[in-house]
Structure 1
Amino acid sequence: MNSVFFDHATIDAWIAEDAPLVDLTTHLLAVGDRAAQMRLTIRGEAVAACTEEAARIVQHCGAQVDRLLASGTPVAAGDVLLAASGPAADLLRAWKVAQNLLEYACGVAAATARMVRAVQAAAPGVAVLTTRKHAPGLRRVALKATLSGGAFPHRLGVGETVLVFPQHRVLAGGWEGVSARLAVAAPALAEKKCVVEAHSLDDALRAAAAGADVVQFDKATPEQLRAWCPPLRERHARLGLLAAGGIHLGNAAEYAASGVDALVTSSLHYAPPADVGVTIEPLEQR
């Protein structure tokens, strides 16, 4: 899965963060010139993610990739995510950078796959969408990891969709102001969806009247959504309905069965990391 673009500068910046000048241990022990091989092995059930980028880390450090499991591949304990060979110095430089990347990405992908399965079991057709709420600099990795687990991005940036929050509504002069401004902008939004955040049924009805294509309920309970979705469907059959705020694996199935079209969650970005073991050994021992 190579659909997410990582430029060379990003890969090199990751390497430079950990090993910008010299690997002092490798230099002092004088083992860098030895031909060696490295394996990164998963220690539990997960989903492979960002293995292609881990391979590029290895290659940018000067070693060669012998095999890898593609992102999106379900993996079991003992599966080798990536095998590489080359001078020991190159492998040792790549080691921790590649391991850290895989532990985060595979952990997120595994959590995503679990949530997607739970949601589909409760309400087939309901999507799991992931937000842009994560630590700065993680967008590409978080995106590729959640895609690998079967989720889809909700909004990758503020220029991608129109999403009217209460903060915008106050600045626009309330619901009347939002309605007037969206009416004026309607021709320019011919290829865009307009999403409006709501906190109640009344908010949702006002949002639909103002021109929303999608209503995003923030921090509503599943019980509230079960009560609000039917009247909204009856009055606005083509209105998309999203549930956001506080959604995690423990309650995702309940939210999925509430009547919405998709769940919007940030929790997957903070999943526990996968456990990836690393071995490096001389080639002549094999």
Structure 2
Amino acid sequence: MDLLFEDTGYFDLTTYGLRIGDKKGVMSFSPKAEIVLCGADEVEKILKKLNIKHTFFKNNGDRVMAKETILECKGDAASLHKAWKISQNIFEYMSGIATYTNTLIKSAKAINPSISVSTTRKNFPGAKELMLKAVMCGGGAPHRLGLYDSVLIFEQHLNFFNAKEELEQGFKELKHNFIERKIAVEVESFEQASYFASLGADILQCEKMDFKTLKSCVGLKQKHPTLLLSATGGINEKNIAGFAACGVDFIVTSSPYHAKPLDIKVTIKETN
């Protein structure tokens, strides 16, 4: 997708109509509050495409204080106005996700320094690359990129087995066929968790469990020391600390994808 053309189309009616396109100007970007920056690479591609001279003072993943300058650009008014809004949108949305992700991680690690926070594949279709990059700028990691990079058994898979013996044979074949992969299973109760741990699951993804049940599932590590457990389902900045305190190895959440875009102030002025 051509992000620049999506916003500018064939020409800028306002700048053209005002006859200011050839005038020289300077444009700067700065946050209105503290942020974790993301989107610098995408914005730079736009600036280069428009032949705008630019200087970045901050990089992806940097913590930027309120009113600190992220970027300064110099060029003709026509080019600056084309770059303005799409660049601002990229910074605001991607930095919003990165900052929210970083907040989650700090809350979780304050309870368990060794825990990690990952995001699901419930990203907005067509925006996966940008959203995942923002998560990683905030210190998070992708849980699954898609169906092709990991093995995760859901109830929707289990519904195709009519008998326990058939399921157990299928599970055995899965582990054999993908011997280099960890086998993860989504579970919703302690009974399910115990059963799949006994079958040799490598990871139990504990879905929407209360803290008491989740702690019981974590207790399975005593019998299965290599077992990994994650908590998922409805986890956000308000409750992540409680899930981290249950002793899980990592947390899986979609909430960063719904983070509010942050305010990035853009100033454009004429220069001599």
Q: 1:249 aligns with which of 213, 219, 237?
A: 237
Specify the SS of the correspondent of 2:25.
strand
In structure 1, the partner of 2:50 is: 61
Contact 1:169 1:177 in 2 (8 A): no
Q: Which runs of 4+ in 1 moved over 4 A?
A: none
State how far apart, in whole Å, the 2-side matches of 1:175 and 1:141 are.
42
Contact 1:219 1:244 in 2 (8 A): yes
Contact 1:179 1:209 in 2 (8 A): no
1:233 aligns with 2:247: no
Specify the SS of the correspondent of 2:160.
helix
Query: How far did 1:175 drift?
Result: 4.8
After superposition, the CA RMSD in angstroms is: 1.4
State how far apart, in whole Å, the 1-side matches of 2:118 and 2:60 are.
19
State how far apart, in whole Å, the 2-side matches of 1:76 and 1:132 are.
31
Query: How far did 1:174 drift?
Result: 5.6
State how far apart, in whole Å, the 2-side matches of 1:125 and 1:185 are.
30
State how far apart, in whole Å, the 2-side matches of 1:131 and 1:23 are.
38
Q: 1:273 aligns with which of 255, 261, 265?
A: 261
Matched to 2:237, the amino acid is L
Specify the SS of the correspondent of 1:191.
coil
Contact 1:179 1:211 in 2 (8 A): no
In structure 1, the partner of 2:73 is: 84
Specify the SS of the correspondent of 1:171.
coil
Matched to 1:248, the amino acid is N
In structure 1, the partner of 2:106 is: 117
State how far apart, in whole Å, the 1-side matches of 2:7 and 2:101 are.
28
In structure 1, the partner of 2:16 is: 27
State how far apart, in whole Å, the 2-side matches of 1:257 and 1:278 are.
41
Matched to 1:44, the amino acid is A
Give the alignment's TM-score, normalised by structure 2. Answer: 0.96
Alignment of 1:1-286 (within 5 A): 10=1, 13-173=2-162, 175-230=164-219, 232-284=220-272
Residues 240/62 of structure 1: CA separation in 2 closer, same or farther (3 Å cut): same
Contact 2:203 2:227 in 1 (8 A): yes
Specify the SS of the correspondent of 2:118.
strand
Contact 1:243 1:262 in 2 (8 A): yes
Query: How far did 1:224 drift?
Result: 1.8
Query: How far did 1:14 drift?
Result: 0.9
Query: How far did 1:92 drift?
Result: 0.6
State how far apart, in whole Å, the 1-side matches of 2:37 and 2:98 are.
7
Contact 2:29 2:72 in 1 (8 A): yes
Contact 1:178 1:210 in 2 (8 A): no
Matched to 2:106, the amino acid is R
Contact 2:194 2:217 in 1 (8 A): no
Contact 1:175 1:206 in 2 (8 A): no
Aligned length: 272
Contact 2:206 2:229 in 1 (8 A): yes
Contact 2:175 2:183 in 1 (8 A): no
Give the alignment's TM-score, normalised by structure 1. Answer: 0.91
Specify the SS of the correspondent of 2:66.
coil
State how far apart, in whole Å, the 1-side matches of 2:177 and 2:185 are.
17
Higher deviation after alignment, 186-195 or 215-224: 186-195
Q: Which runs of 5+ in 2 are unaligned?
A: none
State how far apart, in whole Å, the 1-side matches of 2:210 and 2:63 are.
32
Q: Which runs of 5+ in 1 are unaligned?
A: 1-9
State how far apart, in whole Å, the 1-side matches of 2:139 and 2:122 are.
18
Residues 34/174 of structure 1: CA separation in 2 closer, same or farther (3 Å cut): farther
State how far apart, in whole Å, the 2-side matches of 1:272 and 1:158 are.
28
